[in-house]
Structure 1
């Protein structure tokens, strides 16, 4: 593990205690929870499928997917995040598999998935394009990659690094939709971008920065 990996793990482990206080993290408001549930249903195929939640955090989105009958595997670098995700599933009486590991290189062996879901992760990665290739490689034929991303903060203003060494991250502070779409396009047969910044219910408040979902379909 590199020094940056150590710093990132420590940061998110520390953040786990208060992580769910953010409206779009904990989904404690029924309106926010319902808004994410509706989007996930739109982004996932009909019927039960195998979903990998890469960078699952405390498992809020994974739980919504499991409640709809999907078979969920979650991966996160921060052990305390994973522990909280597991506890949510135990409390709900739902099956789920959670692993501590690098979400950019999920430790899932030969398993393949119908959906790989990644929310607000690529900006934290030292090599996000390698992660995109890894996630695309985990899809079954016809599967889909769902990336919920954005460009955080004020337009034209670079955010401060969130960990020591974070200034070297290529997409630190987020990534515009056109840049991410250009990186994903060679890996997919179809790419579609869905703006999300206009849906205040998803975030628990109005937002004025760029937020979107990018959906990419693997070859049939």
Structure 2
């Protein structure tokens, strides 16, 4: 890995212990958990289907996916995140496969999936456009790409980047819906944008930045 990739992996590995403290990460509040479950129900096909959760973190969305009856594979660069994801599903007596690996090139070999799901990840990638092309290639015909993204309120405010060099990433601070739509559109058969900033339950309270889901079919 490059020095920047190593720094990013180390950052998220260290953040694993407190990651779930954020309302939309840990989904500990029932209304927040229910809000994400409702959205996933509309974004994913009726199951069971094979879902690749890229940048799965501590596995909160993977858990909801498994609870809905789907087969989930999670990938994350941070070993401690992956460890917590495994523990989370095991505690719920649910099955999931979790792998440590680069989100831009998930270590799943030639496997294909019905859904590729990713939340708040592309802004951390050195080459997000290449990663998106790779993710689309991981889908079966008719498969769905589900990206939950946004432009964070903190972007543009003064302050040091979360790791040195992160400010040089192409989509540092997030990516707007128009930009992401322009990149993904040529790769898929159909696409829609679903605004999410107005649903306070998703985030544990009101937000005033851009947040949305891009749902596409290949």
For the criterion TM > 0.5, the same-fold answer is yes
User: Any unmatched runs of 5+ in structure 2?
Assistant: none
- Structure 2 Cα separation of the partners of residues 84 and 121 of structure 1: 18
Aligned to 1:103: 103
Q: Quote the RMSD (CA, aligned, Å).
A: 1.2
Alignment of 1:22-33 (within 5 A): 22-33=22-33
TM (normalized to structure 2)? 0.98
Q: Is the 8 A contact 2:86 2:98 kept in 1?
A: yes
1:165: Cα distance to partner?
1.1
Question: After TM superposition, which residue ranges in structure 1, 4 or more long, deviate above 3 angstroms?
Answer: 154-160
Secondary structure of 1:198's aligned partner:
coil
1:155: Cα distance to partner?
7.4
Secondary structure of 1:110's aligned partner:
coil
Count of aligned positions: 218
- Structure 1 Cα separation of the partners of residues 55 and 8 of structure 2: 12
Alignment of 1:1-220 (within 5 A): 1-153=1-153, 157=157, 160-218=160-218
Q: Please, which moves more after superposition, 86-95 or 149-158?
A: 149-158
1:154: Cα distance to partner?
5.3
Q: Is the 8 A contact 1:158 1:173 kept in 2?
A: no
1:158: Cα distance to partner?
7.1
- Structure 2 Cα separation of the partners of residues 196 and 97 of structure 1: 28
1:104: Cα distance to partner?
1.2
TM (normalized to structure 1)? 0.97
Q: Is the 8 A contact 2:154 2:173 kept in 1?
A: no
